[in-house]
Amino acid sequence: MPSQIILDFGTFDLKAELFDLPVCEAMAKILPATVELTSWGGELYGPLPLSCNKMGKLVPAIPPGGIAYSYRGSYLCVFFGQRPAWPVEHIGNIEGKEWKKLKEADVDKVIIRSA
């Protein structure tokens, strides 16, 4: 499983680290993957159906730059200032403060690939 991924938003890329979790292993098996994104406040999310037979710990808050997976709807979520609408699994983080680029970005999809 790659511990590093690239989030390619078209006009810029962000490096991220994934945690050692079953859902991250499931994601690694389908990379590269394209996710159509919706913006909601300080969050980008989109459908990413994964075959994962073990759900991890769900949390009510994700730090800015955090990446999460929502089993409710099978969504990949990237947070940069928003609290989740419901508890999600925190699966990784964008490196450094580069997530701040998302505040000004007008993006509608991301290509996720191994670094």
Helices assigned H by DSSP within the chain:
22-28, 101-104
Domain extent for 67: 4-114
Average pLDDT over residues 22-26: 95
| Amino acid 88: pLDDT | 97
pLDDT tens for each residue of 54-89: 889 999 999 999 999 999 999 999 999 999 999 999
CATH number at residue 39: 2.40.100.20
| Amino acid 55: pLDDT | 85
At 7, is the secondary structure helix, strand, or coil? strand
Task: Look at residue 22 and tell me whether its pLDDT is greater than 80.
Answer: yes
For the chain, the domain total comes to 1
* Measured distance CA(41)–CA(83) in Å, rounded: 9
Please give the residue that has the higher pLDDT: either 55 or 1: 55
Task: Look at residue 91 and tell me whether its pLDDT is greater than 90.
Answer: yes
At 22, is the secondary structure helix, strand, or coil? helix
* Measured distance CA(39)–CA(32) in Å, rounded: 22
Say if CB 58 and CB 30 are below 8 A apart.
no
Enter the tokens of residue 2: 């790659």
